[in-house]
Amino acid sequence: MSDMDISIVIPTYNRELFLKEAIESIFCQKNVRIEIIVIDDCSTDNTETLINEISKRAPSNICIIYQKNESKQFAHISRFKGLEIATGDIIVFMDDDDFYIDGSVFELVKDIFERNKSIGAFIASTAKFLNGEFLQGIDLNSDGIVARDEYLQHFGFKYPKPLSTLSSFFRTDLLRNSGINKFKMVNDTCIYLNGILLGDVFVHNKAIAAYRVHGTNISKSRLPLRFIIQTLEEKKRLYKKVKLEGIINNPAIWYFNNLRNSIYYFLESSNFDVFIIISQSIWLLFKGNGVRLLFFRDFLQRAFCRRK
């Protein structure tokens, strides 16, 4: 067993004020040994000074590890680095602008994992935090243990995706050995889908954390071409994996539905010319299968028209 119970990986860039609130929201967690791993992606503000100051007043059960990238790498690379150095039995990925609102949930997470060896993931709800007010958390449509295959089959539909990853915990060794480090783009959905493959899922249908809505969320920013293409490629890799292992029914339909969700997200988060980008990406993913390609092309056209 590790010296640490839970590792929290926080990629950050120029958000010292939000980061301070994020870290301090962890300080109230008791009876759990916690390491907070901050991976700084070349911030130009006072992030490093903040970490030095806040580390001095961290509770005795919490240690803070600070690592600064030599060059700008973006959040998914920082997540990889955090996963590599994490020593906790359980791992969670936290964005630097989010924060926890349940002061005892880490103790619950530790207890659930220790008592249920079949569980690979603990997924709780998140609430939106907008203009100083909390909005109702997402209903996860379950409360308790859900079998892995059932949860994976209906993830994103019957079982909604939380707003942010800080409310989802995974067994560190299993996630590290899952092959997730081979993926080029580790965004929220990639983390969830790889994490769900680790075992059964314990669903905690209560908001334990807040997703802060503001002008610099990635969902409010223009998504780069590389992000879009790599995200679609990673979903194709996951599709091949679940198909090979026979984990879910109708894997092709499952794959289509997950791609559809991604495309709607991209259309809502980017300028109109992203339609051309996505069309090119789908061509790369489906070339050689004319029927599926035509079917997906028609879907893209309908989705684009709906957005207009």
pLDDT for 272 equals 46
pLDDT for 232 equals 75
27 Ramachandran zone, left/alpha/beta (phi>0; psi -120 to 50):
alpha
pLDDT for 72 equals 87
Closest listed residue to residue 94, CA positions, set 112, 107, 81, 79: 79
Residue 249, judged by CB atoms within 10 A of its CB (0-12, 13-18, 19+), counts as: exposed
pLDDT for 291 equals 45
Q: How far is CA 95 from CA 56, 145, 162, 279, in A?
A: 22, 26, 13, 30
pLDDT for 238 equals 84
Rounded Cα distance, 273 and 42, in Å: 30
pLDDT per residue of the chain (308 residues) written in tens, 0 to 9: 567 899 999 999 999 999 999 999 999 999 999 999 999 999 999 999 999 999 999 999 999 999 999 988 878 889 999 999 999 999 999 999 999 999 999 999 999 999 999 999 999 999 999 988 998 888 999 999 999 999 999 998 899 999 999 999 999 999 999 888 777 667 787 889 889 999 999 999 999 999 999 866 554 455 566 666 777 777 888 888 888 888 888 888 888 888 777 777 666 665 545 555 555 555 555 555 544 555 555 555 555 555 55
pLDDT for 207 equals 96
Cβ–Cβ < 8 Å for 126, 209: yes
pTM value?
Answer: 0.85
Q: Are strands 88-93 and 4-12 parallel, antiparallel or unpaired?
A: parallel
pLDDT for 183 equals 72
User: What structural domains and CATH numbers belong to the chain?
Assistant: 4-212 (3.90.550.10), 222-307 (no CATH)
pLDDT for 18 equals 96
Three-state secondary structure call for residue 124:
strand
pLDDT for 233 equals 77
Token duo for residue 255: 């794959």
Cβ–Cβ < 8 Å for 21, 52: no
pLDDT for 280 equals 55
pLDDT for 256 equals 80
- 225-245 and 251-269 are packed helices; what angle lies between their axes, rounded to 10 degrees? 170
Return the exposure string of 149-184: e unless at least 16 CB atoms fall within 10 Å of the residue's CB, then b.
bebbbbbbeebebbbbbbbbbbbbebbeebebeebe
pLDDT for 275 equals 54
